[in-house]
Amino acid sequence: MAEFTMELNDEQKEVRDWIHGFAADVIRPAAAEWDEREETPWPVIQEAAKIGLYSLDFYAQQFFDPTGLGIPMTMEELFWGDAGIALSIVGTGLAAVGVLANGTEEQIGTWVPQMYGDADDVKVAAFCSSEPDAGSDVASMRTRAVYDEAKDEWVLNGTKTWATNGGIAGVHVVVAVVDPELGSKGHASFIVPPHTPGLSQGQKFKKHGIRASHTAEVVLEDVRVPGHCLLGGKEKLDERLARARERAKGGERVKNAAMATFEASRPAVGAMAVGTARAAYEEALEYAKTREQFGRPIIDNQGVAFQLADMRTQIDAARLLVWRASWMATTGKKFEHAEGSMSKLFASETAKKVTAQAIQILGGNGFTREYPVERMHRDAAIYTIFEGTSEIQRLVIARTLSGMPIR
């Protein structure tokens, strides 16, 4: 088991510097343009694919880093470049993780490579879980999957929302209800292959921030997928549902595996927030050093200097929480007090606060699109919303304090 450390090793530093170089040289120069266009930055994703940054192999290497710091380090540097473009680059990973976590070896080998494509023919994938009436309340999901035994096909109907890459993806991973009586325990995940009839893009959302990342509804109308597209297979699903029914009969609480998965994945979102906060802080620091008022740099004023001191302190504290939770998840340490939620909560709130302070330090300039802190502030708003709102994080943490079950 790797010991917790605050010092990256030489290999990790090399990877960090490589990602940082891509973020500085490729992502940042394109950030304002794709934010204005509100379109998927295909040329940037292709550049990432050419150097191996947009690939399953790279993210697998970081995921299996024994220290647990590979993924948060990667996310921080990419999102330091720009949150919208970075989310376009890493968004496919949501679908890939869904298959890796639940699929058979054959399903993983078949579908995950198709999600990324290659440098000459880049693809993206979409993970579709949230619905108009089922965001944090996953038990209210309405999308149904019905098994047609005669044809060995599953028939999917419903509408998904807030899907990153929804509708433009080749492969969609869709979570649907197979047994409504079991609530969230009666869900299953399905692969919807490219060009499957009945799947269409609904509304594309025009967003406040992360505008270079495509977010849309996905509509499923009598979508038929082969039986082998059920992640994990029918036999495994039947066994799981049978256990859930038995436990429900006996009044036993069934552990919510989805909540445990979210708890382990939330530090990655915290790392995204740290990257955005760090970017805004660095912009504000440089501005404060060079902007003069009343004959001296504004950083000489305590009102500005103290803000920057608080910003740096909060960013470092957020990173510490993210790294601790990431290390715990990788080494199998139990989250006794929802440390994953703690990291996501604090980092998300820090990103909102720090980007707002950056605008304040830049004054009128910070309020214009001529300076990037305005965009960073808009982008930061998403961190307290997706992957569980700040209110949900507080609820999860509070339940661990009181001894109530997380469900």
Active site residues: 387
What three-state secondary structure class fits 229?
helix
The closest alpha carbon to 300, from 277, 292, 79, 361, belongs to: 292
CA-based radius of gyration for the chain: 22
**Residue 199: in which H helix or E strand, if any?**
strand 199-204
β-sheet bridge partners, residue 173: 127, 191
Q: Which amino acid is at 286?
A: E
How many whole angstroms separate alpha carbon 231 and alpha carbon 178? 13
Q: How far apart are CA 232 and CA 189, in angstroms?
A: 9
Long-range contacts of 195-201 (CB under 8 A, 24+ apart): 196/223, 196/224, 196/225, 197/223, 197/224, 198/156, 198/222, 198/223, 198/224, 199/172, 199/223, 200/167, 201/166, 201/167, 201/168
Chain centroid offset of residue 212 CA: 15
176, β-bridge pairs: 188
Q: Convert 66-92 to b/e letters by CB count within 10 Å (16 or more is b).
A: ebbbbbbbbbbbbbbbbbbbbbbbbbb
Q: How many residues does the chain have?
A: 407
**Complete DSSP assignment for 140-184:** G---EEEEETTTTEEEEEEEEEEEETTTT-SEEEEEEES-GGGGG
H/E run at residue 94: helix 92-102
Q: Give residues with Cβ within 8 angstroms of 220, minimum separation 6.
A: 143, 156, 157, 158, 159, 160, 174, 192, 198, 199
Give the contacts of 84 (CB within 8 A, at least 6 positions apart).
31, 34, 35, 41, 209, 210, 211, 212, 213, 379
How many Å apart are CA 172 and CA 191, to the nearest integer?
6
Amino acid at 50: K
Tokens 């799981």 — which residue?
240
